[in-house]
Structure 1
């Protein structure tokens, strides 16, 4: 029987659904420490838990479709004009809105490879063509190669800093040099989902956005703020782009509880700094112990470490799962490990020692 589906405009057939090809890891006891998702190991703030309890009784009501209170809070936090704030269900949801607005058939989106798993699929759903550019041997954006790939069909360049999965960070001077001379109308989306973990950067600094009319800054409450399960992200973008992108939003995509929790977290900047200091300390300890165990993780500015294991990546992930720790393997390239609890680290380091001994 012939298919009832119309001819496809969006070419997603070559991609699996997000993380759809993963198989769950299991241990004999059934216990598993998940260090594969870059979630923060600290619990939500007490204010957030209180908000969620109070909102549970109003789950039958729709939220504000504009999430205007959150827009106002972000506008005051940075500060920028309210018309420059676009909110949505996580930074991935906001990125989808932007790509749907900016791209169409025949357009190109340039990004580094390896990258956040959702980039290729989000680009494809906008009917654009992804142009992945390999990272350098040290896990950094190859800005020279990315610039060389810019052509007449280029509409968007995505730069992720700190980079997922390697944890490397672009310097302000490198970014400025890259942006100067790009063709007019080519939008650079600076994905800063992990900005708060970068001790060398000020998360409130929007200098590049103010200096360049074709720059979008993409952020999330999922990582440093610990609201991954609530799905709140935002972008700071030119007002004309924000006005257009809002039309692509799924109605009511930011729930009332998520909006209120994000506002509460945004106001706790002193607590956020303390939590970031803790995560950085755990990151430094894990880096040191993995190095001592015979591996060679890259220095990281995110809440994760990248171990360039090449052909041994999947084997290390299997060894980690055997002792009860799930990590994220990029076959043939490396392994990404989230900074987690001390107990999870202890098990992971044991697996690293066993892996190194087996390799010698």
Structure 2
């Protein structure tokens, strides 16, 4: 499930305990304080930020606000497997655009799929499940190829695990009002059970989303945890680097065994085994390891070091290699 198995960030547990004394009160119903803090950290203004109940809810809110019956949403494939459901829930029709020969998102192909009925192009960066990282030039090329009536929504649920020098920061490309970005505290900050995320974009783009906020509120305890997690930013970034190092270690080990594993900027790897996907999943399950088949490959989340060691040991056996006692 791409969960973050590292310890809770400093201050988060204390913030949760303290916030329990106020769960009987309305408090900051629309998370205005959290939005102000996020805006300050991002170097922007609060009218460009909307807090919501995780990135999934915000994706749904955004699509519902800007799409509807008779419209289409273009998205790359393979990508997050719930995009078609979210798009249809908004009344629109999903248009999946296959990637190139290496399953990478193609800005030219995405633009070519746009019609007069298209309202949004949805991209994932880093892409889930392939791990592909999109740079600033990629995003600018896509925007340049699109008509003015089409918005671009970038899903950055895993951005903190990517190399910051390689990944585009959509929040800094504010010169194009068509571009919006959604982020979450679920992965990098380890708050998946609390459901808190945020959307950043031009006021005219996020405004229609804000009007639905009373029905997709961030709970009091989630707000408190998110603010504490923001205070622990240096540790969060250090922890993400540790996760990324483990991810890359597992990728190197799998590649040495002959597995096809593209580079990843998320906290997961996408192992392409073709017709042997289910066989590999069943083999790992026999070793107590749960993974998922997603979009034609097997997605392996990055766990703690001992869990990652178990993956490498099981993969070695699957590849017909002698299982070594130590893999690290």
**Cross-structure match for 1:344:** 307
1:318 lines up with 2:282 in the alignment: yes
Q: How does 1:176-195 map to 2 (within 5 A)?
A: 176-195=140-159
Structure-2 separation of matches of 1:321 and 1:335 = 13
Hey, what's the Cα distance between the residues in 2 that align with 1:285 and 1:63?
45
Superposition pairs of residues 203-352 of structure 1, within 5 angstroms: 205-206=169-170, 209-249=173-213, 251=215, 253-330=217-294, 333-352=296-315
Task: Provide the aligned length of Structure 1 versus Structure 2.
Answer: 321
**Aligned mate of 2:163, from 191, 199, 203:** 199
Task: Say whether residues 1:163 and 2:127 are aligned partners.
Answer: yes
The separation in 2 between residues aligned to 1:110 and 1:76, in whole angstroms, is 32
Does the 8 A contact of 1:294 with 1:353 survive in 2?
A: no
> Which residue of the partner structure matches residue 32 of structure 1?
none
1:138 aligned residue (60, 78, 102): 102
The one-character-per-residue Cα deviations of 1:3-57 (angstroms, maximum 9, x if unpaired) are xxxxxxxxxxxxxxxxxxxxxxxxxxxxxxxxxx111121211300111122233
Pairwise CA distance, 1:250? 5.0
Q: Is 1:45 the counterpart of 2:9 in the alignment? A: yes
Query: Structure 1 residues 203 and 349, CA, compared in 2 at 3 Å: closer, same or farther?
Result: closer
CA distance in 1, matches of 2:126, 2:230: 20
Kept after mapping to 2: 8 A contact 1:75/1:82: yes
Give, in whole Å, the separation in 2 of the partners of 1:201 and 1:88.
28
Which of 66, 89, 106 is matched with 2:53 structurally?
89
Q: Secondary structure at the match of 1:72?
A: helix
**Structure 1 residues not aligned, in runs of 5+:** 1-36
CA contact (8 A) 2:73 2:122 kept: yes
Report the equivalent of 1:100.
64
- SS of 1:344's equivalent? helix
Do the aligned partners of 2:171 and 2:200 also contact (CA within 8 Å) in 1? no
Change (3 A) 1:216 1:184: same
What CA deviation, in whole Å up to 9, does each residue of 1:264-313 have, x standing for no partner?
Answer: 11122221221122112111211111122331211111111111112211
Deviation of 1:202 after TM superposition, in Å, equals 7.9
Question: How far off is 1:232 after superposition?
Answer: 0.6
Q: Is the 8 A contact 2:170 2:180 kept in 1?
A: no
3-state SS of paired residue (1:46): coil
- Root-mean-square deviation (CA, aligned residues, Å) is 1.9
SS at match of 2:215: coil
Q: Does 1:119 find its partner at 2:83? A: yes
Q: Which runs of 5+ in 2 are unaligned?
A: 322-328
Shift of 1:204: 9.6
Could you tell me which residue of structure 2 aligns to residue 23 of structure 1? none
Q: Provide TM-score, normalisation by structure 1.
A: 0.85
How far apart in 2 are the matches of 1:141 and 1:316? 26
Structure 1: distance between partners of 2:204 and 2:280: 47
Q: In the alignment, is the contact (CA less than 8 A) between 2:9 and 2:236 conserved in 1?
A: no
- Cα distance in 2 for residues equivalent to 1:200 and 1:46: 23
